A and B are shown apart, each in its own frame.
Chain A
Amino acid sequence: MADDTRTGKAEREIRDVWITPDEAPDWMRHATDEGAQTMRQDESEQRLVEQTGVRVDDDYVLDDEIPEDERMIINMGPQHPSTHGVLRLQIELEGEIVRRVKPIIGYLHTGMEKTGESLMYMQGGTNVTRMDYLAPLFNELVFSLATEKLLGVEIPPRAQAIRILMTELNRATSHLVALATQGMDIGALSMMLYGFRERELILAFFEKTTGLRMNHNYIRPGGVAADLPDGWEEDIEEIIERIPVGVADYEDLLKANPIWEGRTRGVGVISAEECLAYGITGPPLRATGVDLDLRKTQPYSGIDRYEFDVAVGSNGDAYDRYRIRVQEILQSLRIVQQVANQMPAGDYRTDDRKVTPPPRQRIDESMEALIHHFKLFTEGFKVPEGETYVAIESPRGEIGCYLVSDGSAKPYRIHIRAPSFANLQGLPIMLADSLVADSVATIASVDAVMGDVDR
């Protein structure tokens, strides 16, 4: 790489990233190439054009007013600890001011939608639960709801109540992590410990119920995998008692803390119109004052039976997003309390033997049960032909599942509409013309989970 001496590395990077390949002289190409650097340069360029059909120029226009030596492009991530995973931001700086941001994603792409096409519906839960790893139960729920919609099966009331109970607890854990990491990013390190302390309570309950702390595969088409464990009422009682105590700690620590307010108020501002235009949902949207919460507007699994308030902000900044998460934790616990009080008796999964396997003891007694069991676990259940889109409110916004069935036991196409993926599109707006130090606070307040983004 003798060329490094001719121009600065930074400039080469700028050109490689922003210039069109056709304009660039040969020596400039592949300065930041992801893969093969030296081998088959011309070949790969040509193949790329063949494959992609077009190479579209970026819309970057040099601003002549800014002297060349004051403009700098830095890459934040994908290994930066404050990007919460493998998010890479290409930030164009003018001194301390962020002028332009381009989120670059895909570092955690594992082809889950492709994998989903080769898994039976019963196995699908294990796949989708790994997408948004902080809110796995929401992934499972949306996948199950979509499958059930195509199947047309009725879910017993107890299964629905358990689903709501578990997902609302999951919302609390997800927001606790969001608060904890947001605190850590801004410098409130005790918040990190507090958030994870309370989360542990709920995760212990998850472990007791589902067997795992994350990636549960607990909510399945037809119901849930197992009934709540013995003594679940006491566990829920303890959770409902102790989490608000923890939340009170956070309020003491952060709510009127001048440093916290200084770091979050007026930071990462986005307007309601911009949110709608960019498809941004969840706390970032509600922080702008739009009260879109699918639990209210398009209720699922009987969540409309429980009382709760939708937390709404007004300024659309990082502080409002933080406030909304705190309130949503408390509202989720309110729902959990009501579910626990009104938990209906009955079956925790549908008794449709074409969808759920028979109980173990029935297999010894009934030939038919044995056949059903065998058929279910070898062939899976067949889902009628059709397509559907189901959306629910995950901690990060609208998570949707577009499912196409061709009548076989495996989905023809499964697509998850990831809330983090859409919310990331708001980052360039939130970060434009802000200080570079605020970018960390903003990224934390959006709370994108890269597993959800890249899938």
Chain B
Amino acid sequence: MADQPVNEEEAGEEATGVPERPLPEHPVLAGLFKLFDDVAWQRSGDQDTAVVPKDQVPDFALAARRAGFEMLVDVTAVDYLRVRRVRFEVVVGLLSLAHNIRLRLRVPVPADDPTVPSLVAVYPGANFFERETFDMFGIIFDDHPDLTRILMPDDWVGHPLRKDFATGAVPVQFKSSPQVT
């Protein structure tokens, strides 16, 4: 209820010139989105998502954590090769225990510069998930403390979950066995 007057003020401001921007109904989410002009709120199904420019990801995540999203539950990516103009999209799932809501951040990442700022400083739990995303998609998380392969072998070539990484037979090279071609 305390947020009610703020909402009205915001509505008044928008009417006086600022182009109208859809904002979520939930007061916590609305307050969060108001802080960032470049972050677009979208409803995907019945779930709240935020399309975040990649340079604002740590700031937005920090604001989200302060707004009550205590937990980062998931980091992954999708390769929209030849589907979208911007090839990759990093997807971050946040959970708020205090408000019992979820928020999904979607960060478009171009193929020619596949870097995203790391969230490890904001949510230490992003560590393994970002390593997995790096391993599978080759997206580089800047300032990650230990960005190495996590699931694939260290000397693996390529990033398996990219759409241009074909499935098929790969000769298995066992240690100290004669090379199979």
Contact = CB atoms under 8 A, between A and B. Distances in A.
Contacts of A279: 71-73, 123, 125-126, 129
6 A-B pairs closest in CB distance: A279-B125, A106-B151, A278-B125, A109-B151, A417-B74, A415-B76
A257 interface: no
B155 to A, nearest CB: 5
Contacts of B152: 106, 109
A51 B175 contact: no
A365 interface: no
A48 B45 CA distance: 40
Interface string A42-58: 00100110011111101
A404 B90 CA distance: 13
A454 interface: yes
B12 interface: no
B75 to A, nearest CB: 9
A3 B127 CA distance: 35
A451 to B, nearest CB: 12
B146 interface: yes
A384 to B, nearest CB: 10
- From DSSP, what is the main secondary structure of chain B's interface residues? loop
A69 B95 CA distance: 46
B70 to A, nearest CB: 5
Contacts of A292: 97
Interface residues on B, range: 35 or more
A318 to B, nearest CB: 21
A34 B154 contact: yes
Contacts of B158: 51
Interface of B: 44-45, 47, 70-74, 76, 78-79, 83, 91, 93, 95, 97, 100, 102, 104, 123-129, 132, 134, 136, 138, 140, 144-161, 165, 167, 173, 175-176, 179
A5 B74 CA distance: 46
Interface stretch (A111-119, A232-240, A327-335): A111-119
A346 interface: no
Given A37-B176, A422-B128, A402 B91 contact: yes
Interface stretch (A202-210, A387-395, A431-439): A387-395
A36 interface: yes
A37 B144 contact: no
Given A388-B45, A389-B74, A391-B73, A280 B150 contact: no
A37 B173 CA distance: 11
A36 B132 CA distance: 23
B173 A36 contact: yes
Given A56-B145, A106-B151, A386 B45 contact: yes
Contacts of A111: 160
A415 B73 CA distance: 13
B101 to A, nearest CB: 9
B151 A389 contact: no
Contacts of A114: 160-161, 165, 167
A406 interface: yes
A298 interface: yes
A389 B47 contact: yes
Contact of A59 (B70, B74, B146): B146
